[in-house]
Amino acid sequence: MTDLEKKTEAVREIAERLGFEACGFSRACRLEDEERRLEEWLNHGRHGTMSWMERHFDKRVDPTKLVPGAKSVVSVLCSYNQDFGKIHPEKKQHDRTDPKISKYALGEDYHQVLKEKLFSLFHFTEDLMGGLAGRVFVDSAPVLDKAWAVKSGLGWIGKNSNLLNKKLGSWFFIGEMILDARFEYDKQLADHCGSCTRCIDACPTDAIYEPYRVDGSKCISYFTIELRGEVPDEYQSQIGEWIFGCDICQDVCPWNRKARKGSEERLFAREDLIGHDLDFWEELDLDTYRQLFRKSAVKRAKFEGLKRNIEVASRNLRKQRD
C-alpha cells in the first residue's frame, strides 16, 4: 500500500469513528456536465423564488473558486434513519390524521451536528498531512454536494434527484471538505434505479417531471420551506398534511426499505417534536415555536411560514375527516 493510499484510508477510518456512515474521495475539478444542467435548470425557472441559487454560479461548479489550489473533495454521509417504534414507542410520526414534519428536521439542526464532526475530521487530516488548506461545508455554501458524493463513489443520483446509497438508501445528510491535498480517489458507482418509477408515480405535485429531473418550484418541500407568501391555490390540496418538507418520494423508494439505521442520536427525532395532533399545531404560538425549534432546521420556514403551512394542512385534514 502506497503512502497516499495509507493516508486516504486513515482519513476514511477516522470519518467512520466520528460517526459518518461513509466517506469518499474525488479529484477537485470543474463540474462541466453539472454546469450545463444547472444552467438549463435555472434558465427554465425550476428554482422558483430561490434566487440565491443563481448567485455564485462559478463557485458552485468549480471548487477552486472556494478553495484556491483545491485538489480534492472529501465527501461524507451521516444517516438520520431511525426506528420510531424503538426510539419513541408511545408516539407516532406517520399518522395521516396529524400534520407531519420531514424526518430530517425532527432532530437537532444537522448543519451544526455535521460541521462539528467535519471540523474534527479536518483537524485530523491537517495533522496527518503535515498541514493543508481547505474548508468544510454542510449545505450552507454554493457546493453541489450530491455531484461530489457521486464522484466520490458514495452513490448514484436517483430518479427523484436524491443521492442513493445501497446500504443507506437516501436517509442521510451530505457534507464535504475541499482540500489542497491529494488522495487516492474512488470510482463512481453505476445507477441502480433500473425501471422503477415509484418516486415519480407517488409525487402529488408532479414535481418529478421526468426521470432524474425535478422542478423545484413544484416540490412540496419548496412550498413548505422556501416559498414566502401564499401557496398557489392549485397546489394546496396536494400538500396534504405536510407542514415542513416532504418525504413521499423517499418513503416509496425500494432502497429505503432496508436502509441501515444511523448512529448519531442528535439527528434522531426529539420526543417533543413528534406525536402532536392537529389541535396542538393550530394553537402554536410564537413562544412555543421558539422553544420547540431553537436547535431545529424547521426555523428555515420561519414562524409565519410554518403557521401558513399549518393552515393549509388543517384545511386538508379537516376535509379528510368530513
Pairing of strands 172-179, 163-164: unpaired
Distance CA 31, CA 24 (A): 17
Cα of 228 vs its chain's centroid, Å: 20
- Is the CA virtual torsion 104, 109, 110, 113 positive or negative? negative
Burial class (CB in 10 A: 0-12, 13-18, 19+), 211: middle
Q: How many Å apart are CA 199 and CA 185, to the nearest integer? A: 31
DSSP β-ladder status, 100-101 and 242-244: parallel
Give catalytic residues, as residue numbers.
139
State how far the alpha carbon of 109 is from the alpha carbons of 85, 168, 265, in Å. 22, 20, 12
Long-range CB pairs of 54-63 (<8 Å, 24+ gap) are 55/142, 56/142, 57/142, 59/141, 59/142, 59/143, 60/142, 60/143, 60/144, 61/30, 61/31, 61/32, 61/34, 61/35, 61/144, 62/30, 62/31, 63/28, 63/29, 63/143, 63/178
Q: What is the DSSP string of 10-36?
A: HHHHHHHHTT-SEEEEEE----HHHHH
Coil, strand or helix at 198: helix
Strands (E), the chain: 22-27, 72-79, 100-101, 134-137, 156-157, 163-164, 172-179, 208-210, 213-214, 242-244
